[in-house]
Chain A
Amino acid sequence: GNSVTQMEGPVTLSEEAFLTINCTYTATGYPSLFWYVQYPGEGLQLLLKATKADDKGSNKGFEATYRKETTSFHLEKGSVQVSDSAVYFCASRGETSGSRLTFGEGTQLTVNP
């Protein structure tokens, strides 16, 4: 089956620092990949996605590139803000029709002023 592994957290950064959250996946076939963000007390929101190799998803200054050769989808942001403090989830959705979304365990990001 499919699985997603995220770097262990929590991650604490100062404002304007560079962010990387690692994500690797295992899957049969060719999944779509997603990053979700969860702010305190809220549900998950789709942050960005990529559906094929070398695709780059981007939104709100965040980027992630689908790397088939390394089975990775690392999340990056050049300059984080306090408002980026949240939990970030990497997820994959498999190639077969009707496939489920499989989540990593989540990474807590705290950005200090």
Chain B
Amino acid sequence: NAGVTQTPKFQVLKTGQSMTLQCAQDMNHEYMSWYRQDPGMGLRLIHYSVGAGITDQGEVPNGYNVSRSTTEDFPLRLLSAAPSQTSVYFCASSKTLARNYGYTFGSGTRLTVV
């Protein structure tokens, strides 16, 4: 079982460039989400999805878009990269929406915007 797979692992962008961070899970999980991790700020939710075709905003959605056309994939798009988006990005999934299930995390994408 691959679990949650994120690509790429590292990326450097110039300000204004766009890119897509890929996330795929093979566990048939219903719930998927994107977090960013910054020093001293823990993990902050960017966007999440409760099923194919359904997405919603988290705490810090500005500058990011998501879509969920299949159960397996949940890509995160940076529309016009800014230095403030330099961060480590984690994709996470959960089997169901029930509160007693934890999340499975990918290994992260370290993004630097110069």
Q: Which residues of A contact B (CB under 8 A)?
A: 31-32, 34, 36, 42-46, 49, 51, 89, 91, 93-101, 103-106
Contacts and interface: CB of A to CB of B under 8 A. Distances in A.
Contacts of A45: 105
A34 B102 CA distance: 7
Of A32, A99, A100, which is in contact with the most chain B CB atoms at under 10 Å from its CB? A100
Contacts of A34: 102
Interface in B91-114: 92, 94, 97-108
Given A43-B106, A44-B105, A32 B43 contact: no
A98 to B, nearest CB: 4
Contacts of B105: 36, 43-45
B74 interface: no
B103 A42 contact: no
Nearest to B50: A98
A1 B101 CA distance: 19
B99 A99 contact: yes
25 contacts: A31-B99, A32-B99, A42-B107, A43-B90, A43-B106, A43-B108, A51-B99, A51-B100, A89-B42, A91-B102, A94-B99, A96-B99, A97-B98, A97-B99, A98-B31, A98-B97, A99-B99, A100-B58, A101-B33, A101-B94, A101-B102, A103-B43, A105-B41, A105-B42, A106-B42
A101 B103 contact: yes
B22 to A, nearest CB: 15
A100 B40 CA distance: 20
Nearest to B102: A46
B104 to A, nearest CB: 8
A91 to B, nearest CB: 8
Given A32-B99, A97-B98, A100-B48, A43 B40 contact: no
A97 to B, nearest CB: 5
